[in-house]
Amino acid sequence: MAEQKRKYFGTDGIRGRVGDGVITPEFVLKLGWAIGRVFAKEGRSKVLIGKDTRISGYMFESALQAGLSAAGVDIYLLGPMPTPAIAYLTRTFHAQAGIVISASHNPYHDNGIKFFSGKGTKLPEAIELEIEAMMDQPLVTVDSALLGKAHRVDDAAGRYIEFCKSTVSSKLDFSKLKVVVDCANGATYHIAPNVFRELGADVIVMGAEPDGLNINQDCGSTEPRLLQAAVLENEADLGVALDGDGDRLIMVDKQGELVDGDELLFVIARAQQRAGYGQKDIVGTLMSNLGLEHALEKYDMKLHRAKVGDRYVMEMLKKTGGIVGGESSGHIICLDKTTTGDGIVAALQVLDEMQATDSSLHELRSAVSKYPQRLINVRVKKMVDLSGHEDVIAAVKNVEKQLGNEGRVLLRASGTEPVIRVMVEGRDAVQTNQLASDLASVIEGILKA
């Protein structure tokens, strides 16, 4: 069925401001029940629940637990855990589904619910539609003898730490590396530092004191300025910035320069190729920089562009037979290691390549010469379809004419925030910035009108 027919689910679960719309305890309780009823059709089921560190996670964890129990489903509570950890543990527990309470890189006042299948992958759209249909049914509690039971998993963090370490050779020794790790005051605060320490690195920790309100605040992959300064101040070899739920990765080289998802994707793809098991087909998105595309071509690899969103990157990987894909924002999927985007696992693959080639991160990323790219987020009160608007079409054609074959234009509505993203890419930075500003102004004018 067409994606636009979904009533609640976006590109990455259900997300919004706490207390507004559907992000309320009442809705989430009913959602837990609906999920439970869908999976209980196959008999007694168990579902894992994990969360990030935002304060509302406690409230929604309880609501989901009540709803699932009412549907006759057993619950395994993981506590604060990264999104990719929940995907992994759902598989190893042989659970029917995993639920993540998180709004990823958003501020604390937002929250959301996203799901993994028993295989550790995003739920198929057909299942999401089935859950939405169940939401329209009256909530009926199973007989008391059949109520779901709740269990707390005390060793979840340790299990996931060992998994992360297993994605690189046990012969690797990071003892010569000094690494600054920024956990975004999020779900990796008690995991990421331990992974790098146990592999021998000298670790300096940032953003590992969550208080329920400071998740992603001036830290993590969306705000890496303090990490850049810390790498330089501590003369570290590199910095690792994760987001609030641990599925995004941005790195900083020893010069204090940012290394984004496009550059990391290239490093990992090249590492796989050098090791002899890489694929020619690499998956990026519509936002991936032209410089990445050209760098891959030099090594006989082809970039396939999916729609923005790790769901679509995964679909394109399956379609092309590729094993590595990602987004500029730092979602990196290594299908030879795990089933979903994983910031810690991706970082380890980069460190592995540094060791294997005796290269610095700065040297590895230098093969990608990025085109200047300007991204402007135009905030909207209500999402509108601008694709058929004559003034928008004319403005885009004008920008494309000025860029010629030396750049790209992209307009897209965000799947997670109330913004329209205006992106212009070209060889000349001054021209690119001006064209992006002009186009954003046209969009803002239309929206105000």
DSSP summary character for residue 327: -
- Integer Cα distance of 118 and 245 in angstroms: 20
Tokens 């885009």, residue? Answer: 396
Q: At what angle do helices 343-357 and 156-166 cross, to 10 degrees?
A: 30
Tokens at 246, concatenated: 């641990």
Q: What are the tokens at 88?
A: 């992994």
User: Can you tell me the distance from the alpha carbon of 293 to that of 266, in angstroms, rounded to the nearest whole number?
Assistant: 9
- Quick one: DSSP state of residue 144? G
Which position among 56, 104, 117, 329 bears the catalytic label?
104
Please give the Cα distance from 269 to 106 (Å, whole number).
Answer: 29
Sign of CA dihedral 248, 253, 256, 262: negative
Rounded to 5°, the CA angle 53-56-60 comes to 105
User: Has 328 been annotated as catalytic?
Assistant: no
What is the C-alpha R_g of the chain? 22
- CA contacts within 13 A on the Cβ side of 33: 21
288, 412 contact by CB (below 8 A): no
Residue 245 contacts residue 57 (beta carbons within 8 Å): no
End-to-end CA separation in angstroms for the chain = 34
Beta strands in 25-175 (DSSP E): 46-51, 74-80, 97-101, 110-117, 150-152
Contact 291, 369 (CB under 8 A): yes
Distance CA 394, CA 179 (A): 48
Q: Residue 420 pairs with which residues in a beta bridge?
A: 378, 413
Q: Are 305 and 286 within 8 A, CB to CB?
A: yes
State the residue for tokens 């890419």.
425
- Using CA atoms of 188, 189, 194, 195 in order, give the dihedral in degrees to the nearest 10: 20
Q: In whole angstroms, what is the distance from residue 315 CA to residue 419 CA?
A: 24
Catalytic sites, residue numbers: 104
